[in-house]
């Protein structure tokens, strides 16, 4: 699956990379759903269209696609692996929280299925060869890593020919320096409208991050997990519970 839509080049390349050695189902949004994050469609029915052998479009989000596949189309033949991508653009640092590509992998992990999100770090003249070669080998090697339950893998591949890739790095999420902007304008009817935009993001220079790996022309592999608990803050916050409870009891 993906968030760029069924007809995007990245998902076609992904299927081509895997189809010879695997039984591949393609279930993807019928249009671009970038930045859909982990949203579900709950207010109207979803429609599925068959587009070929084991290939389907869904008029919903990437997360919808995973649910439709696992609980509907493939419920009698569950997959061993869910791969979301190849995304047209990076999914690094805090941006993973916006990403429909990463959210699809999160949903697969919630459902107990090994899941990978794959993104190509570039905007123009995208070349998927390195991502194709990598993911084909990574799928064969995945069991070697003996991943713990609840782990999903977020991969970012430089937009470079395979010969220019300098290595593979296991990384942590980087930290973006935000330069988002809100663009305000007026439509022909005199009504205001807004675009959420901004310049290409830049990243803090922190050792061991996904951004650093990409800067060094390396493929970044970031293990992520479902548990969002900030464990270091638990004891700190417990120190203030009695005071908070008294305020609650006093109605303040």
- Which pLDDT score, from 0 to 100, does residue 192 have? 93
User: Which residues 6+ apart lie within 8 Å of 59 measured at CB?
Assistant: 29, 30, 31, 46, 47
DSSP string of 7-40? T-HHHHHHHHHHTTTS---EEEESS--TT-TT--
Q: Which residues of the chain have pLDDT under 50?
A: none
The per-residue pLDDT for 251 is 85
Q: Are 101 and 84 in contact (CB under 8 A)?
A: yes
Say how many Å lie between the first and final Cα of the chain, rounded. 49
- Residue 198, pLDDT score: 65
The predicted structure's pLDDT at residue 103: 97
Phi, psi of 233 (to 5 degrees): -90, -10
Q: Of 155, 135, 129, whose CA–CA distance to 221 is shortest? A: 155
Q: pLDDT tens digits for 39-82?
A: 999 999 999 999 999 999 999 999 999 999 999 999 999 999 99
Set out the domains of the chain in order of their start, with CATH numbers. 9-176+202-249 (3.40.1210.10)
pLDDT for 176: 81
Residue appearing with tokens 């935000």: 178
């Amino acid at each position: 699956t993906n968030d760029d839509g069924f007809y995007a080049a990245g998902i076609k390349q992904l299927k081509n990379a895997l189809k010879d050695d695997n039984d591949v189902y393609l279930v993807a949004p019928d249009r671009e759903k970038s930045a859909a994050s982990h949203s579900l469609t709950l207010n109207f029915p979803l429609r599925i269209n068959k587009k070929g052998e084991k290939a389907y479009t869904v008029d919903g989000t990437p997360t919808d696609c995973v649910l439709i596949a696992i609980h509907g189309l493939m419920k009698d033949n569950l997959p061993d692996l869910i791969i979301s991508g190849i995304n047209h653009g990076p999914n690094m640092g805090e941006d993973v929280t916006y990403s429909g590509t990463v959210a699809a992998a999160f949903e697969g992990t919630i459902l107990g299925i090994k899941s990978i999100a794959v993104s190509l770090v570039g905007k123009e003249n995208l070349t998927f060869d390195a991502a194709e070669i990598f993911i084909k080998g990574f799928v064969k090697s995945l069991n070697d890593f003996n991943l713990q339950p609840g782990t999903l893998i977020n991969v970012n591949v430089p937009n470079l020919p395979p010969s220019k890739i300098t290595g593979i790095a296991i990384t942590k999420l980087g930290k973006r320096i935000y330069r988002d902007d809100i663009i305000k304008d007026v439509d022909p009817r005199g009504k205001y409208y807004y675009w959420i935009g901004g310049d290409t993001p830049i990243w803090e220079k922190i050792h061991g991050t996904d951004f650093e790996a990409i800067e060094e022309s390396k493929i970044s592999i970031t293990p992520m997990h479902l548990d969002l608990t900030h464990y270091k803050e638990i004891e700190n916050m417990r120190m203030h519970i009695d005071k908070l409870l008294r305020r609650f009891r006093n109605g303040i």
